Amino acid sequence: MAESLLLSRSNFLKFTSVAAAGTLLASCGSNKDSSGGSTTSSATAALPPVTNGSEALQRLKDGNSRFVTNKATCPEDTPLRRAELAEGQTPFGLMLSCIDSRVPPELVFDQGLGDLMVIRSGGQVLDRAVIGSLEYGVAVIKCPLLMVLGHGKCGAVDSTIKSIQDNSTNEGLGDIAYLIDAIGVNIRSLVEKGANEKPGDLLYQCIDANCKAIAADLPNRSSIIKKAVDDGKLTIVAADYHLESGKVSLLT
């Protein structure tokens, strides 16, 4: 009897889990119109093409607002949409973000397939591969906006702070040391000065300082990016993602 009850309870949990998942997927999928046809639930589906950095930034702000208020539209990635994108891509936003699994840009900004071109590296560190990828997004894809997106409790920045404080050589860390060295250039003076008003202040200030320094340095590191900025074809901004709230705040 006890065994049958356990089996029944197990089956019930499986059923309710599947049902809950189905409800979630349905809420993010397509709706039916009065004739039984499919209509997209994506708030971005009928929007006009983005033509400049200001419009692109507003679209990201709107998407993040939906994400924060639990009103994400889960942009519909249908076979039709995939077929359209197979012919070419026109993402409106170029994103340089950290590798942290808690900060997926497409979800954070409630965007779908083909909306964002995302390049990720630990602590948003720049190297030739990252810069070349960004240049492709600027020169070939013609993205009007480049956002450098940092985030709270960044492990790469935290490790760099500790390395500076301990005067560590970072021996044995492999190419992780490369990330620490690159971030260290952006935050060393802040770490040495200190920011100890309350626990966590130094980390958050260093996260923001690193993000702003990278955004400011991009035109210096790439003539392609600099020309696009000088010609008014590219806007570069730095931003910070708050893990607890899901909100993205502009730093520049």
Q: Report phi then psi at 181, rounded to 5.
A: -65, -45
- Do 215 and 192 fall within a single domain? yes
Structural tokens at position 88: 């070419």
Tens of each residue's pLDDT in the chain, 252 residues: 444 433 444 444 443 343 433 443 344 544 433 333 333 344 455 688 999 999 999 999 999 999 999 999 988 788 998 998 999 999 999 999 999 999 999 999 999 999 999 999 999 999 999 999 999 999 999 999 999 999 999 999 999 999 999 999 999 999 999 999 999 999 999 999 876 565 568 999 999 999 999 999 999 999 999 999 999 999 999 999 999 999 999 997
Fill in the amino acid letter for 200: G
Reference 98, options 244, 243, 245, 252; nearest CA is 243
The vertex-99 CA angle with 97 and 103, nearest 5°, equals 70
- Do 123 and 155 fall within a single domain? yes
The CATH number linked to 190 is 3.40.1050.10
- Do 134 and 234 fall within a single domain? yes
- Do 37 and 60 fall within a single domain? no
The pLDDT, as a whole number, for residue 94 is 98
Torsion angle of C-alpha atoms 154, 159, 162, 166, degrees rounded to 10? -170
- The string of DSSP letters for 129-172 reads HHHHHHHHHHHTS--SEEEEEEETT-HHHHHHHHHHHHT---TT
- Do 30 and 100 fall within a single domain? no
The pLDDT, as a whole number, for residue 173 is 94
CB atoms within 10 A of CB 25: 10
- Do 12 and 119 fall within a single domain? no
Angle at which helices 155-166 and 176-193 cross, to 10°:
70
Q: How far apart are CA 172 and CA 182, in angstroms?
A: 17
The pLDDT, as a whole number, for residue 77 is 81
Structural tokens at position 44: 């971005």
Torsion angle of C-alpha atoms 73, 79, 82, 87, degrees rounded to 10? -140
- Do 17 and 58 fall within a single domain? no
- Do 106 and 190 fall within a single domain? yes
* Contact in structure between 111 and 44 (CB atoms under 8 Å): yes
Question: How would you class 196 by CB atoms within 10 Å of its CB: exposed for 0-12, middle for 13-18, buried for 19 or more?
Answer: exposed
Please report the sign of the dihedral spanned by the C-alpha atoms of residue 186, residue 153, residue 125, residue 175: positive
**Bridge-partner residues for 237, per DSSP?**
147
- Do 30 and 153 fall within a single domain? no
Fill in the amino acid letter for 233: K
Q: How far apart are CA 99 and CA 170, in angstroms?
A: 20
What's the total number of domains in the chain? 2
- Do 139 and 25 fall within a single domain? no
pTM: 0.81
- Do 26 and 55 fall within a single domain? no
Helix (H, G, I), strand (E, B) or coil at 206: helix
CB atoms within 10 A of CB 224: 18
Q: Which domain holds residue 55?
A: 50-250
- Do 7 and 102 fall within a single domain? no
